[in-house]
Amino acid sequence: MKHRDIGAFTLIEIVVVLATIALLMALLMPALGRARSEAREIVCRSNLRQLVLANAAYATENGGFYVAAASDLWASAGLRRWHGVRSSIDEPFDSRSGPLAGYLGDGQVKECPLRIAFTKGQEWSRNFEQGGGGYGYNLMYLGSRLWEASADAGSTQRYAYTHTTAATEVKNPGQTLMFADAAMAKNGGELIEYSFAEPPFAVCGGQVLTDFRMSPSIHFRHAARANIGWADGHTGSEPLTPLDMTNVYGVNSSALSLGWFDPVDNTLFDLR
């Protein structure tokens, strides 16, 4: 019986195969990276839509009024937010005990799937809003009544934070921001979770204070775009408008993808 010789791969053939695999991987990796990024963005938008729908359901069962953004902020207590409550300012907020818990599928505010390296587990002075999942709420116009002319300083400050906007007061829900990707820059390059999507200008007693800009908190984390949940229930993304400015903590916000989208005024936050 004759034995058939079984040929083996030569070194050159092995090198060619490995080079081909490497080339295919180089071609496929960017596409896989984009696919993963797009998947995370879709999940993020879904999280925002759930928050918008939860807030709408909350309003339906609470006289038509949206959830308060920070009902104890008037007293600087810092224990109650739209997304949760806590017993001490050094603890993270617990969304399972928050005002929207009963309107969310599992009772919790989900975290942005992009897994931003937020500072965690630090004392209040370093990380005062931990637990919001990386999303911010339109406090100025929906989660309070700071926009109302009667909500000025003194005794009415409590009213301004404990009372909110009714869904029927929002004239154009499709162009009124309710929730957005959010963060705040502190301590140089650190990012912390932040509960509010701040407009460019503060509002108090019905007056838009244009003498200074707020510290930007909308976080353009998705390839220089931020996901937005609008008051009518739809979601989308907006590109970062370059704006070189230093926030209240002395940090260049745009360098950390924080800022606003056009128009850089209160138009798309304002309920009127």
Is 270 among the domain residues?
no
Is 12 among the domain residues?
no
Is 16 among the domain residues?
no
Who wins on pLDDT, 119 or 103?
103
What pLDDT was estimated at residue 71? Answer: 94
Across 59-72, average pLDDT: 97
Q: How many domains does the chain have?
A: 1
What pLDDT was estimated at residue 6? Answer: 55
- C-alpha span between 246 and 193 (Å, rounded): 18
Is 135 among the domain residues?
yes
Is 112 among the domain residues?
yes
Q: Is the pLDDT of residue 38 over 80?
A: no
Is 266 among the domain residues?
no
**Spatial CA neighbour of 142 closest among 74, 99, 197:** 197
Across 192-202, average pLDDT: 96
Is 30 among the domain residues?
no
> 41: pLDDT confidence band, cut at 50, 70 and 90?
confident
Is 131 among the domain residues?
yes
- C-alpha span between 166 and 145 (Å, rounded): 10
Q: Is the pLDDT of residue 143 over 60?
A: yes
- Does residue 195 contact residue 82 with C-beta atoms inside 8 Å? yes
pLDDT tens-digit profile of 152-162?
444 578 899 99
- Which domain, by its residues, includes 115? 43-259
What pLDDT was estimated at residue 97? Answer: 92
Q: Is the pLDDT of residue 172 over 80?
A: yes
Residue-wise DSSP of 85-149? E-SSTTSPPBGGGSTTGGGSTTSSPPPPTT------S--TTT-TTTTSTTEEE-TTTTSS-TTST
> 112: pLDDT confidence band, cut at 50, 70 and 90?
very high
What pLDDT was estimated at residue 7? Answer: 59
Across 127-150, average pLDDT: 92
